[in-house]
Structure 1
Amino acid sequence: MQRIEAVVFDWGGVLIDNPASPLMDYCARTFGVSVQQYTQAHDRHGEAFQKGWITEETFWQRVCGDLSRPLPRADSLWGQAFRAVYRPRAEVSALAGRLHGRGYKTALLSNTEAPAMKFFLELGPPMFDAAVFSCAEGVCKPQREIYEIAGRELATPADRCILIDDRFAFVEGAWNAGMKGVVYESVAQVRRELAALGVETE
């Protein structure tokens, strides 16, 4: 078995509480519609926004057109909403920091939108050697290309990288790209699975 040299972390659902439902709630309240109504409109245009194919301005024009609501007043409603619902998991960040301190390369790999990427870059967490965002690359997990981009950013062969993600489909995408993968359930469970792969977490 090849020695693991790099550990790649998902953001929402691993490093932070999954923001998806709170974001839908926040935006639905902002527009005065039901969560179901907002989610349906969001889902029609969210993939293009997440892949960086459209700007936030265009995204809201389309969503508000579907909802028959005026455009938001905020310069970046998505950025405002993301900051409002952001809940970091200190124990996962600590794990990433320990791995980095032990000489493992570490990276973030996230399907996310440009305003959220901007927020991450403002935070500038020091434990990551690279950060790969779907909105900057034009592709999303589980597309093979985004895992290959992460490997190149880390200058590490795929079979020496491992992805930690809370969604099985995205871990499966990592497997298909030649990486190892762990489906996140808890920090303790991730430590056990990393240890089984020879990764020193303590």
Structure 2
Amino acid sequence: MQTTEAIIFDLGGVLIDWNPSYLFDNLFDDKEKKKHFFENICTPQWNEEQDGGRSLKEGTELLVDLHPEWKEYIEAFYGRWEEMLGGPIHETVDIFRDLKQSGKYRLYALTNWSGELFPIALERYDFLHWFDGRVVSGDEKMRKPFPEFYQLTLNRFDLKPERTLFIDDNLRNVKAAEDLGIQAVRFESPAQLRKDLEARGLI
């Protein structure tokens, strides 16, 4: 069985429930309008630019200039961003706690997250302080799935890819880690993650 010395967690969708629908379901009474908004205006690709270091102000103003008729909704995306946070994914936090208390592994976070918004999460979620180190895309001006972001993390914490396990809910990000020789698990549910970790002999 492969030796694992370090485990890297993604945050959003794995340890923290973040979903724009928590806010926008209250702002849109038309499902098709909401669908159009996320597919054509505040797209995941646009949000990732802020995760990668573009300021929230610049990203917002860019879209308002392009789509002034959507101004209210565009400004709500970051203006009311905290309403998109659904809280901890408690069962995954329990797994994280078990790994931490075992004392067997170094534990890290690698997240695509705006550097302007991450301090809110740090204040809100105590378990973010359990990590041995955190790498936040907005602070580093790079993001998943680009290989240099993973390599930065490996180098910073002196991690060997073949002895490091990466957990992420995004298959694109999982494959990017595997391409660098990092062990990886795609997160689908806390129960599935626990089963995968047990099969690897990690918990």
Give the counterpart letter for 2:89 in structure 1. R
1:109 aligns with: 110
Q: Deviations over 1:54-78 (max 9, x none)?
A: 2111111111112214866xxx955
- RMSD of aligned alpha carbons: 2.6
Q: Is the Cα contact below 8 Å between 2:20 and 2:84 reproduced in 1?
A: no
Aligned to 2:47: 46
Change (3 A) 1:62 1:151: same
Q: Equivalent residue for 1:89? A: 89
Q: Report 1:122-137 matches (<5 A).
A: 122-123=123-124, 124=126, 125-137=128-140
Distance 2:64 2:37 in 1: 9
Q: Secondary structure at the match of 1:114?
A: coil
SS class of match (1:126):
helix
Q: What is the deviation of 1:26?
A: 6.3
Please list the CA deviations of residues 103-128 of structure 1 after superposition, one character each: whole Å capped at 9, or x if unmatched.
Answer: 21111211122333121232352321
Q: Summarize the alignment of residues 142-157 of structure 1 with structure 2, pairs less than 5 Å apart.
A: 142-157=145-160
Question: Secondary structure at the residue paired with 1:3?
Answer: coil
Aligned to 1:183: 186
2:34, 2:6 → 1: CA distance?
39
Give the aligned residue type for 1:188: A
Gaps in structure 1 of 5+ consecutive residues = none
**Are 1:172 and 2:175 counterparts?**
yes
Alignment partners' CA distance in 1, 2:77 and 2:13: 18
Q: What is the TM-score of this pair, normalised by structure 1? A: 0.81
Q: Cα gap change, 1:2/1:70 in structure 2, threshold over 3 Å: closer, same or farther?
A: closer
**Distance in 2 between residues matched to 1:188 and 1:163, nearest whole Å:** 17
